Structure 1
């Protein structure tokens, strides 16, 4: 192990059977992580050269831009390949498909899951069917249904309707109608960079948007069931 994780250290690098494991401190700002990582890689370039690195974010919220910045730095400083990203299971579908867009394998689960070998399919019942991925903006009049998860790589405009048995993930602004958990799953969620819908539905519950403008989230928003109500949380 190169270092021992404390509140002061921005990261720890450990040996892993699949390469090196980079565990990032959840309290350290990204610029400090990048600066310290560049120094470590340049000082030990011969040691890390052409190796593979796994990025462990169990202690840190997943952010696609952060992953991209770390990946670019590793490649530039020592030719290190980012082989995998590990995130906690509560990060859910958003994290999994965001990493997929970056072209990096992602593994979901708690830190305990790493030891027990629990798989993604055990954590998510909808993994039995592949997600439907739509690589365009959904315009007015469009209706899209998925028997599993649904991923939209674009906006969902007013007048468009998207329906999924599992989670819905929108890499853009959701302004139309979205119905997650259409088979009755209240655990399903709706993820989007911005949620400004005509209507949200999760299982048998329906929510209409509040009046007035709301502040935009820093990274993304999630609609989920709490009690018997659909609530939108910003991150």
Structure 2
């Protein structure tokens, strides 16, 4: 039986680089540093450029070249209502994207995935369409991923990526935060971005106003 291609809408988690000015080289060096810090997470990852806070023209051709050199895949720009700027970005090969899409909520989740053993360096555990509960530690170099929330009853020293399918309602809860990276719906903190106030504390991470937010848990 013959089949024809089909085009359907879908949603994917994309990293967004927010530019503060039109100094392209500064932004590229920032990206290269981030890729070096977490190559497993960032290498070949698609990235969208938010230029809402940029005054003046951006050299989009140079920006696209630099993003590729950093090891990322440039997808498009967002945050511009200026047709001239959008035209320049389009000529350089960027898609023009809208950020007006409402937050994606977790739905159709399947039963929680529970892991009782330690997650060791080099291991990856993924809870597809589910929450993930780890009743042990997550070692450096290990990665836990869930389309829903992640609960870690031990120490988180590796990487935790919740809301992997775009759910902004996802949470990360861990008994001892010492993570290499935490991410919810594509918004992330590397270890050097995590506030020292919450380091080695029992913490809940969540999303608020499109930014990561933390609460120290006292129980």
- Please give the range of the TM-score, normalised by the shorter of the 2 chains: 0.3 to 0.5
Larger relative helix fraction: 1
| TM superposition score normalised by structure 2 | 0.46
| TM superposition score normalised by structure 1 | 0.43
Larger RCO (alpha carbons 8 Å, 6+ apart): 2
